[in-house]
Amino acid sequence: MTQVSMTVNGKAVSGEVEGRTLLSGFLRDSLNLTGTHVGCDTSQCGACVVHVDGVAVKACAMLAGEAEGAEVTTIEGMAKPDGSLSTIQQAFQDHHGLQCGFCTPGMVMSAAALLQDNPNPSETEIREYLEGNICRCTGYHNIVKAIMAAAGQDVSKIAAE
Amino acid sequence: MYAFEFERPTTVDDAVKALASEDAQALGGGQTLIPTLKQRLAAPETLVSLGGIAEMKGVCIGDSGEVCIGGATSHATVAAEAGQYPALAELAAHIGDPAVRNRGTIGGSLANNDPSACYPAAALGSNATIITNKRDIAADDYFQGMFTTALEEGEIITEVRFPVPEKANYQKFVQPASRFALVGVFVAKYSDGVRVAVTGASEEGVHRWSEAEEALSADFSADAISGLSVPADGLIGDLHGTPEYRAHLVKVMTGRAVTASA
Ligand SMILES: Cc1cc2nc3c(=O)[nH]c(=O)nc-3n(C[C@H](O)[C@H](O)[C@H](O)COP(=O)(O)OP(=O)(O)OC[C@H]3O[C@@H](n4cnc5c(N)ncnc54)[C@H](O)[C@@H]3O)c2cc1C
């Protein structure tokens, strides 16, 4: 066992981990931040996407030890300081960007990373960026619509599906 | 995963030392190795992360204008910073998905030499030099068949140097489930000739298509290869495509890469 320390959602945290402990495991099991979902365990689905030092990574494909000293943001760190939903989260709610909700944490984290790099993405750019996030309810249309809305685009003419 | 010790050295020398111990293995971005460990297809005693070694990260321009990429540089960094070699930056920008590109590294991709990976095509197509802690290896000597390279036990790719061609392009026919190349072709036109490297197609892994290189060196146009055909012998056949289908794709992708070369 070794000690790891990092900042998660603005708070300094540390814990004992095994060499093989994944970042997703550390977040979920040691910190009880179970919003980071593990969907596939094969790096395909993206439900476990978190931000490490400002970029999106799959927490199930990174060892906790690799995040030593890093700034990590999970879905639990996305709401505004007063607890109300962030613009992206609110847009997912307003535009029915989720069905069962399992993929949603990863979708929101990927969307936030996209909008950070590219504040006004086209529909094509959004779809390309979400290549590594799978929604098994196949609710992509409204997810894309929610992200366009979060970017401040007029989505009123896009049919609800 | 089986249990292992984890080390995170900060210099190449320390990494080499750590890798000298029995059953130690290098960890790049982990985008291939971690899924492999989860399936218990590998059982290292110690994983030696290369992620904390600053001297192995980043993109720079060498003395003769070549693009030099540290072995632990992520695909996302290459996409953003290798603008001097646009076809290479573009290739990196289309590996997997954004989260994979933020972790996966060029050294890991070249060390793994997956028969459907993208970087091997760029390295072979550019005759890049693969620099390790021990020696410099020309790409022509480096790739030795599917998942096989010239690397020895414990040898680390510290840097990769790409001579910048006059024109180049990579065309990837995406296998939509894995996002790897079903077939990918990298074409690069240098002043002394054209190189064509094919990934995803052969049982032997990445390889050059010498007939097309000859034809394109004489006349750099998609028409120049219209009379050529690729034999299906030795090509990969699986549920995603037959050897004949891949043979056809090699020619189509080569033509597209020539037309799109810039
Ligand atoms: C969903 C998904 C989609 C992908 N799509 C593509 C794609 O379209 N095209 C593509 O080319 N790849 C693709 N990949 C693979 C990806 O590019 C990997 O990042 C890459 O193949 C391995 O690099 P890594 O740094 O993650 O290496 P790791 O997984 O850490 O290591 C792989 C191997 O290389 C060794 N190694 C690592 N670094 C070095 C080094 N510097 N020197 C010597 N040995 C080293 C390790 O010991 C291990 O044997 C995809 C992966 C995933 C999960």
Average pLDDT of span A92-103 = 96
Question: What is the model's pLDDT at position A107?
Answer: 98
Ligand 1 atom closest to Cα of residue B158: 41
User: Where a domain ends, among B105, B140, B162?
Assistant: B162
B63: number of Cβ within 10 Å: 6
B94 shares a domain with B20: no
Chain B residue numbers with beta carbons less than 8 Å from the beta carbon of A60 are 34
Residues B105 and B178 in one domain: no
**Chain A environment of B37 (Cβ under 8 Å):** 20
CATH code (residue B40): 3.30.43.10
Query: Taking a C-beta distance cutoff of 8 angstroms, is the pair A38, A48 a contact?
Result: yes
Could you tell me if B213 and B132 lie in one domain?
no
pLDDT in tens, A103-113: 999 999 999 99
Q: Which pTM value belongs to this model?
A: 0.97
For residue B244, the domain's CATH number is: 3.30.390.50
Strand pairing of B46-49 and B24-27? parallel
Ligand 1 atom index nearest CA of B105: 25
| Angle between helical axes of A140-150 and A87-94 (0-180°, round to 10) | 140
Q: Which chain B residues are closer than 8 Å to A2 by Cβ? A: 6
> Token pair of B118, please?
């993208």
| Pairing label, strands B136-138, B157-162 | unpaired
Strands B46-49 and B5-7 turn out to be parallel
Which residues from chain B sit within 8 angstroms of residue A61, using beta carbons? 30-31, 34-35, 99-100, 103
| Cβ burial A13-35 (10 Å sphere, 16+ → b, else e) | bebebbbbbbbbbbbbebbebeb
| Separation between Cα atoms, residue B172 and residue A13, nearest integer Å | 43
User: Which domains does chain A possess?
Assistant: 2-75 (3.10.20.30), 87-150 (1.10.150.120)
User: Distance from B12 to chain A by nearest Cα, in Å?
Assistant: 17
A41, A55, A108: best to mutate for the B interface, most B CBs within 10 A: A55
Dihedral, CA atoms, B111, B115, B121, B123, nearest 10 degrees?
20
Looking up residue B103, the CATH number of its domain turns out to be 3.30.465.10
- B60 and B158 belong to one structural domain: yes
Binned at pLDDT 50, 70 and 90, residue A41 comes out as confident
Interatomic CA distance for residues B21 and A16, integer angstroms = 24
Question: Are residues B156 and B60 located together in one domain of the fold?
Answer: yes
Of A65, A68, A131, the CB nearest to B97: A131
What would the two tokens of residue B54 be? 């600053």
Interface test with B, best of A3, A21, A37, A58 (most B CBs within 10 A): A58
* B158 and B171 fall within a common domain: no
Q: Determine the structural domain holding residue B19 and report its residue range.
A: 5-49
Final residue belonging to a domain, choices B111, B127, B162: B162
Distance CA B158, CA B13 (A): 11
The number of helices, as runs of H, and strands, as runs of E, in chain A is 5, 5
Kind and range of the H or E element at A90?
helix A87-94
Q: What would the mean pLDDT of A123-149 be, rounded to a whole number?
A: 96
* A123 touching B (Cβ < 8 Å): no
Does B40 share its domain with B61?
no
pLDDT at A28 over 60: yes
Q: What is the pLDDT of residue A1?
A: 87
pLDDT at A159 over 80: no
Q: What is the pLDDT of residue A160?
A: 60
Residues of chain B scoring pLDDT < 70 = none
Report CA(A151)–ligand 1 centroid distance (Å). 33
The Cβ of residue B194 has, within 10 Å, a number of other Cβ atoms equal to 25
Quote the minimal CA–CA distance from B52 to chain A in Å: 8
Q: Please indicate, yes or no, whether residues B192 and B240 belong to a single structural domain of this protein.
A: yes
DSSP A26: I
Give how far B250 is from chain A: nearest CA, Å: 25
Query: Are B194 and B254 contained in the same domain?
Result: yes
Mean pLDDT of A55-64: 98
Residue A161 has pLDDT above 60, yes or no: no
CB-CB neighbors (< 8 A) of A43 in chain B: 31, 34-35, 100
State whether B250 and B174 are in the same domain: yes
- DSSP letter for each residue of B62-108: -TTS-EEEETT-BHHHHHHH-TTSHHHHHHHHTSS-HHHHHH-BHHH
pLDDT the model gives residue B262: 81
What is the average pLDDT across A151-156? 94
Structural domain count of chain B: 3
Q: Which of A18, A61, A110 lies nearest to residue B30, judging by beta carbons? A: A61
What is the rounded CA–CA span in Å between residue A151 and residue A144? 11
Our measurement of the distance from residue A49's CA atom to the centroid of its chain's CA atoms, rounded to an integer in Å, reads 4
In the listed set B100, B133, B162, which residue is the last one of a domain according to the structure?
B162
pLDDT of residue A31: 98
Q: Are strands A2-8 and A71-73 parallel, antiparallel or unpaired?
A: parallel
- Residues A117, A123, A124, A129, CA torsion sign: positive
Mutation target to probe the A interface, by most A beta carbons within 10 A, among B2, B5, B6 is: B6
Kindly state whether residues B114 and B152 are assigned to the same domain: yes
The percent of residues in chain A predicted with pLDDT above 90, rounded, is 94
Cβ contact B160:B128 at 8 Å: yes
Which among B80, B72, B77, B69 has a CA at the least distance from the CA of B122?
B69
Query: For chain B, what is the total number of helices (H) and then of strands (E)?
Result: 10, 12
Same domain, B172 and B218: yes
User: Nearest-CA distance from B188 to chain A in Å?
Assistant: 26
